[in-house]
Amino acid sequence: MSKKLFLLLIPILSWACGSEEKIDEETATENVKNTAPNTMVKVDTVVSAPFYLLIESAGKVKAHKDVKVLAETTGTIQQANIKSGQKVSAGEVLIRLNPEEAQLKLQSAEINYEKAKLEFENSLIGFPKLLAQENPEQDSLYQKLKIGSGMQESSIQLQEAKIALQKTVIRVPFSGTLYDVKAFKGKHITSGDELFSEFNHRLLVEVNLLESEALNLKEDMPAEIRNPAKDTSFQGEVFSINPKVDENGLVQTHILIKGEHALWPGMNVYVEIKIPKGERLQVPKSSLVLRSGKPVVFSIEKDLAKWNYVEFGYDNGKMVEITDGLKAGMLVITNNNLQLAHDAPISIQNSDN
């Protein structure tokens, strides 16, 4: 080759090499553009463990006993050292009315009774044969003489006067806590006036459950009660299930609050009841998706998402029972799985495993 020809080929070869490098770079760039990034997912493990149906409901605290105490007689309050929130014991005297009027009526009734009794005894003197009987009070003549003397009527009036005097003293019907106290010293009251209300310390939570939920309940089942106002939880148990479904398809259920607590009637709380269903294969509910109307769970194999048709049973809102399609120990995808395809590349992020 001549020196002149060689010099002419150098620029051509240089251009060809530069063009080939440029084509390779463009192809590589295009390949990068066409390669989709891995989907970032979280995963969990398929486990065989005790499964619980969860019943969750909002409810209100109510007292097992809750009464409004009313005045049973007319009078002026002479003593009333009570206030709302006060804890009291059964039989404790809380209010005394001025007893003078009731005492006078009792004295009058006692006098009238003694007069009638004397009249009756005098009338019996005229009937010696009646007095000679072993049980004269069973004789109709005896009863007629008793009524005629006024003794029968005065005896009833005497009992009424004693009861009226007893009503001037108001006692606690049962041990508990007072609220809505409206009685104070010097206040004049009439029969039927409200004095105070009281609830006992056995508190319940009233919840309305779907009939399908209530049918799974049994008395004494444990429950957890959460008070959002204080962000505290208390233990409880199913106390009663009203065997009637209302017009809304709900069943009234009461949960007994156990142990020490700082709850009052009327408070809003949340109740959670776990119903055991034995050992079950289960996955987080978020791992279950529907494709063409069929349930699917994506598992992981060599950083690829694998499509698994499954059959499921119980669903407690957090976990789902798997009856077919998965095995214990498999890793399943729990998020970003709605648009995943079979064999889609994935990257595990914030794994709990």
Phi-psi region of 69 (alpha: psi -120 to 50; beta: other; left: phi over 0): beta
Specify the amino acid at residue 222: P
In this prediction, residue 230 carries a pLDDT of: 83
Query: Which of these ranges, 11-15, 49-53, 345-349, has the smallest mean pLDDT?
Result: 11-15
Phi and psi at 230, nearest 5°, equal -115, 0
Higher pLDDT among residues 334 and 12, named by residue: 334
- Please indicate whether residue 344 or residue 11 has the higher confidence score (pLDDT): 344
As given in the structure block, the two tokens for residue 160 are: 């009424």
- Per-residue model confidence (pLDDT) at position 267: 94
pLDDT surpasses 80 at 341: yes
Q: Is residue 283 within 8 Å of residue 49, measured between CB atoms?
A: no
Question: Is 284 in contact with 334 (CB distance < 8 Å)?
Answer: yes
- Return the pLDDT at 207: 97
Residue 351 has pLDDT above 60, yes or no: no
Instruction: Collect contacts of 90-95 with beta carbons under 8 A, ≥24 apart.
Output: 90/172, 90/173, 90/174, 90/175, 91/171, 91/172, 92/171, 92/172, 93/169, 93/170, 93/171, 94/170, 94/171, 94/172, 94/178, 94/183, 94/196, 95/169, 95/170, 95/183, 95/195
Q: Using alpha carbons only, what angle is made at residue 135 by residues 130 and 136, rounded to the nearest 5 degrees? A: 30
Q: Is pLDDT at 3 greater than 80 in this prediction?
A: no
In angstroms, rounded to a whole number, what is the distance separating the alpha carbons of residues 85 and 87?
Answer: 6
Straight-line distance from the first to the last Cα atom of the chain, in angstroms, rounded to the nearest whole number? 71
How much is the pLDDT for 1?
46
Tokens of 299: 């598992």
Q: Does residue 8 surpass a pLDDT of 60?
A: no
E strand segments, 194-339: 194-199, 203-210, 222-227, 232-245, 250-257, 268-284, 288-291, 294-301, 304-309, 311-315, 319-324, 331-333
207-249 residue pLDDT tens: 999 998 999 999 999 999 999 888 899 999 999 999 999 999 9
What pLDDT is stored for residue 260 in this prediction?
80
Q: What is the pLDDT of residue 58?
A: 96
pTM, two decimal places: 0.66
pLDDT digits (tens, 9 = 90+) for 33-81: 455 688 999 999 999 999 999 999 999 999 999 999 999 999 999 999 8
Query: Is the predicted pLDDT of residue 6 greater than 80, yes or no?
Result: no
pLDDT, mean over the chain: 87
Indicate the range of 40-44, 63-67, 97-101, 290-294 predicted with least confidence: 290-294
